[in-house]
Each structure stands twice: as structure tokens, then as C-alpha cells.
């Protein structure tokens, strides 16, 4: 992982479908070594994959909810139960365990407020052992990027 690898990564974060030839030009290599570095990064799992960036509203999911959830109990069973159930929910785009008082943070994509309320009522509450749910909705987006800072 040298500065050329990091540059390859940032270029691929900017444009995941750039051709190897263009990528090679951008990082000042010829196509062959550039491709070999790329394949090595994939092989090592540093590049975990590639994804299309989609406008959620156009797709039909205009509402993004950010949710903080605290559990009642923290027994191994309660935690595993919660995490297993959350992983299977297609509406959940991200879920992280946090430091501090709030146990979990999730990002959820839904069609609207009604759908969100149904999601919480039918998918989250039934998991059980939930102490509190604090929902916020995304009003507007100041910035989103997939490109990591240069280090």
C-alpha cells in the first residue's frame, strides 16, 4: 500500500468504471502494472467491490431515516438476536455499533413516512429488548462523497 495504490483507490472511488488505460494514465503507469496493482488490491480485499451510485428518490425511496437504538439488555443472546434480525432487513443500508450511550446507529431507506412507521412497528419493535428508538430524517444533503482523503 504505497502512494500509487492510494491514488488508484481514489481514482476508482471517483469513477469505479474507469478503464484500465485511463487509470494507468492518471497514476502515471503503463496499463500492465496498473492492472496488476488493481488485481492485487482486489485480491487482498482492500478493494471490496464496486457499486453503482443511485439516486434513491428516483428509484422510489425518497426518505432516508437515521436511527439510534438502545437495547434493554446486553446479554449475548439479546445482542445476537438484534444484529441477526437487522442484517436481514433490506431497508437497512447501514448499521453500526457505537461508543457512548447509544448502542446502534442505522441508516434506513423507505418510500415515505407511513412506510417508515410500518417498518419500525413491524420490523424493529418485534425484535424485542429495545429500550429506545430515536429517529431523525434527512431534510437535505450538504455533502456526500465516496472518495477518501489523501493521506
Among a copy of itself, DNA, none, residue 43 binds (CB under 5-8 Å by kind)? none
Is 30 one of the binding residues for DNA (CB under 7 A)?
A: yes
For residue 114, CA distances in Å to 104, 124, 132 come to: 23, 15, 20
Which residues lie across from 106 on neighbouring strands?
A: 67, 95
Please say whether the beta carbons of 47 and 1 come within 8 A.
Answer: no
**Closer CB to DNA, 33 or 112, in the complex:** 33
Of the candidates 121, 123, 91, the residue with the CA atom closest to the CA atom of residue 107: 91
Q: Which parts of this chain interact with DNA (CB under 7 A)? A: 4, 19-22, 29-33, 35-37, 39
Q: Which parts of this chain interact with a copy of itself (CB under 8 A)? A: 1, 6, 9, 12-17, 44-56, 58-61, 64, 66, 83, 86-87, 90-100, 102, 104-105, 109, 111, 136-151
Amino acid at each position: 500500500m504505497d502512494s500509487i495504490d492510494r491514488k488508484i483507490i481514489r481514482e476508482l472511488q471517483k469513477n469505479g468504471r474507469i478503464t484500465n488505460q485511463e487509470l494507468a494514465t492518471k497514476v502515471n503507469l503503463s496499463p500492465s502494472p496498473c492492472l496488476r496493482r488493481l488485481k492485487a488490491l482486489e485480491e487482498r480485499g482492500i478493494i471490496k467491490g464496486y457499486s453503482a451510485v443511485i439516486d434513491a428518490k428516483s428509484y422510489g425511496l425518497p426518505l432516508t431515516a437515521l436511527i439510534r437504538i438502545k437495547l434493554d439488555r446486553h446479554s449475548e443472546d439479546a445482542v445476537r438476536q438484534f444484529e441477526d434480525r437487522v442484517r436481514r432487513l433490506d431497508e437497512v443500508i447501514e448499521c453500526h455499533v457505537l461508543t457512548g450511550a447509544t448502542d446502534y446507529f442505522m441508516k434506513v431507506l423507505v418510500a415515505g413516512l407511513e412506510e417508515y412507521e410500518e417498518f419500525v412497528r413491524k420490523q424493529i419493535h418485534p425484535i424485542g429488548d429495545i429500550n429506545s428508538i430515536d429517529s431523525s430524517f434527512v431534510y437535505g444533503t450538504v455533502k456526500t462523497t465516496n472518495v477518501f482523503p489523501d493521506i
